[in-house]
């Protein structure tokens, strides 16, 4: 057996507006594109292929809570600026962590805590 993918599901209220707000958030902040929309579920994606990963954590590192999702980006500084331009509340400031990542935390419109991260050059 081979795992083909693991898909995180972000729960939203049944209102179309709530679903639309969450969709716009991910499309705007991460340049994700819709690949399926059935009305009650929308799947957003990129063309990038990455290995399947699942993290199990007791904390988020540096005393932070465990995030609901970790999203690795190619340019965390650009994504941070985009988040600030969107007026998002930064929950954990852009930080260089001792384990070799640069990251920040933000919440999506459904309240999910996102760890936005890029690996730093060593």
CB proximity list for 97: less than 8 A, separation 6 or greater:
61, 62, 103
- For all residues of the chain together, what is the average pLDDT? 93
CATH 3.10.420.10 fits 16-119, yes or no: no
**Residue 122: its pLDDT value, please?**
59
**Residue 39: its pLDDT value, please?**
85
What pTM did the predictor assign? 0.92
């Amino acid at each position: 057996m081979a795992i083909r993918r693991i898909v995180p599901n972000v729960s939203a209220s049944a209102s179309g507006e709530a679903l639309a707000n969450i969709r716009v958030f991910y499309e705007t902040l991460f340049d994700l594109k819709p690949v399926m929309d059935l009305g009650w579920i929308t799947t957003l994606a990129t063309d990038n292929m990455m290995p399947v990963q699942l993290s199990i954590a007791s904390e988020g590192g540096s005393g932070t809570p465990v995030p609901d999702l970790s999203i690795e980006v190619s340019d965390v500084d650009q994504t941070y600026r985009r988040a600030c331009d969107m007026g998002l509340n930064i929950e954990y400031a852009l930080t260089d962590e001792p384990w070799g990542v640069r990251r920040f935390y933000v919440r999506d419109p459904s309240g999910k805590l996102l760890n936005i991260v890029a690996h730093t050059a060593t």
